[in-house]
Amino acid sequence: MNVDITFLPSGRTVTVRAGTSVLDASRRAGVPIRIRCDGKASCLMCKVVTKSGAGLSKLGEIERRKLSGLEQQGTRLACQAKIIGKAEVEVPEDPLRAAVRKQLSRQAEEDELW
């Protein structure tokens, strides 16, 4: 069975087989998700926020331990969450990209003063 997952804020949607991890689906959609542990749930860098969690697998024990309560806010690990139905997830902005964007914004404001 094939299912759709949409990645926000990009709005990219990809159709994958049920049981595919969110991380693998993001790679197919061309949506970058930071990761260091190659999907072993040890780096905790691949956090995403579910917007419609009904389409993702139930939380496994490893993921529950690693998230330490963040799952109640809809946070999941992309390497552990499997897609079982139509789903939407928000991929947080990369911290380095956010810092660069913030600095460029400040610089643009300073340029307006001159």
Is the pLDDT reported for residue 82 higher than 80?
yes
Average pLDDT over residues 27-50: 91
Please give the tally of structural domains in the chain. Answer: 1
Distance CA 104, CA 28 (A): 30
2: which DSSP letter?
E
CATH (domain of 108): 3.10.20.30
How many CB atoms neighbour CB 13 within 10 A? 13
Predicted local distance difference test score (pLDDT) of residue 76: 95
Q: Which domain holds residue 57?
A: 2-113
Mean confidence (pLDDT) of the chain: 90
